[in-house]
Structure 1
Amino acid sequence: MTTSTTGTTARQGAAGAAGRPGTGPGRSADGGLRWCPACGDEASAYGPGPRGRPDAACPRCRALERHRFLSLVLDGLAPRLALASLVVDVAPSRPVAQQLRRLCPQGYLGVDFDPGADGRAVDVRASLTDLPLADGSVDLLVAYHVLEHVPDDAAAMREVARVLKPGGLALLQVPWAPGRATDEDPDASADERVRRFGQADHVRMYGHDVEDRLRAAGLDVARMTPVDWLGDDGAALMHLWPEESSWVVTPTTSADGVGRHRGVLAGGTSPGGLAGALVRSRAATAEATARRAEAEERGDAVRRDLAAARARVARLEDEVRAARKESARWRRAYERLRGRLPVRVAAGAARGARGLGRAVGALRAVPR
């Protein structure tokens, strides 16, 4: 099952779900630095996404905009997932699958109808219209960019309602153009599908009636967007499409109802709790980065001091070698002088003796 490329990002962004200007990914307030909640990495720019879409994929984990927001939502669900017995990930993406396996190692199940199409590794090969699961057995189901591939999406939606536990959640995302009704044609040619639905393996483009379809299948529905949960600055920090919509759904028979799931996703608090968690995570990341920079600066200073000390030692060694050479030169000169000194003394003594003899002879010749 192939994931959407032009899908939600292009269609939802162009539609402007809430009529906000600037529906593309924003620039963060700290000069364009981006933070990826899927892997915790920071980068000044992202790599290209599907079909070369610029500045879309985290350079470390390759998470796209929708994966980064979903990752943060799943972090908000961590307390619930720690107690979950079964989490179903339909057409799993690598960053999300890794996170879900970490959050729910005892109950993760990856499912895809055609895993070979994208080289996915899954636990079960099955269609979303016919999951090999018991009624009311699933705590969380994730199906991002799946329903637009399914010819009978009504059957898939009913299957989601069937397998979810009372109070269980499903997180869904589809290509969406809210300004019109759903356009679908499973029998359309590949070229026609690209033109109408954005991709050759899509059979529809969802419109404003997508929530009615979900409700008709027995699901309560709430829509969420990055800007609603994180604000403009939070969405820009992770380089998200602010109005890219996802849906959290739960069986209609659930006692708590989907309206409360905003609090659940925020760790039991208001939507601001999730933004607060983002701010705390960002602050922790900034603090760790500052500590690392400080440690690197101290290391650089130590390395500079060590290099200076080595240079001083080298200079002293040069001075010692020069002093030794000078000492050897003076020693050789001294030895030469020492060898010549007795000869000079003897010659002087002889000259003195001869002078004394002449003086004595002169005295004897004087008349008395």
Structure 2
Amino acid sequence: MNFTFLSITRNMLTQITKVTAHDARLLFHFKLNYSTFKSPSAFKSKNTPNTLNIFKSKLSSMKGIHENISALQMKKRPIRKKRTALEDDEPKPPGVFSVVAFATAEEYKLEPLFQGLIKQDLYEPKIFANRNDSEINVIHATAKYQVEDEPREIFFFREGTIVLWNVGELESSNLLNLIKSYEQDRYGELLVQQEAEIMDYRYVPDNRPCYIENGDFILIKDKEGETLSNEKYAFSNAMALSVKLGMWEASLDRYVESIAFVTEDLKRGNKISMTQDDVLRKHGELFALRHLINLSSDLLDTPDFYWERDQLEVLYTQTCNYFSIPRRTKVMNEKLNHCFELIELLSSHLSDKHHTRLEWMIIILIMVEVVFETVHYAERYLH
């Protein structure tokens, strides 16, 4: 009895699996046109098109649409219009200077870097915007040897970014080589240059707070000392956040490209070439990137430094909006959500396959046991 039940169950499963999604679509469209087939007058009317031809044309158009769907139709991240190094080499009007931001690594070891700058004796480093007494988060260094009236200043951020004010190309290259010894998880050189931000800044005789005008940072000429340094820091903080976000955007683009083949396999019904370990690894990469964006950075919140400095907070927010940081962060989170849905689908699919395999193993074992019991029963009956 058990053997008959298993055979019937297996035949039912086999018949069910023969109904594919394509067959279901054919039945659905056939049902839509069935009313036309039922009316004999429809075939006689000259104004009524042949229903069978309509049915065939719909099927062919469906096939064409299906074949034209590309794998993971991800729109490439548009390259934001930035100043390039070539444009920055053009002669500048008097009183116009450059500020450049680079993201070169995941993190800087600022404590050894601070001691290294002191030992080098070319810059005067100071701890800037420290959140607590135990850890340095920003170093503000000023060149000791002046080339012109405008000072050369550098901001080092623990998050792996450096912002250089009025620093020439040769000196910038030397500084980038200097900090290599203090980097953790360095980025590729080409990517560092591609995601760099270059801006101009100038001074105006005005009593207003600093602002952005026509893509330039406008600083107030009469301000000096700590006030001017704080305003430069606010600009630098937003620039550093922008280049860091650019690195994460590039990482997400590479991630999406690495799983592009999966949607093609799903679309064609091919066997998924990823294992459960691969899917788990991809899950981990997504969680790590989401953690960096939403928990370990200031993309979603204003840093504590600006809480009691309202004018600087306005300047920081204005600069973040200029670099489209809120919008870019929102787009990144939406892309991450779509990637999570795909990885969850793969995880569920692989789990179902594993469960199905286990169920078939159990069925086979039961069948083997039934066969042995049948043989034993036959032997007892014959004896």
Please, what TM-score do these two structures have when normalized by structure 2?
Answer: 0.28
User: Which has the greater radius of gyration?
Assistant: 1
Per residue, is there more helix in 1 or in 2?
A: 2
Choose between structure 1 and 2 for higher RCO, CA contacts under 8 A separated by at least 6 residues.
Answer: 1
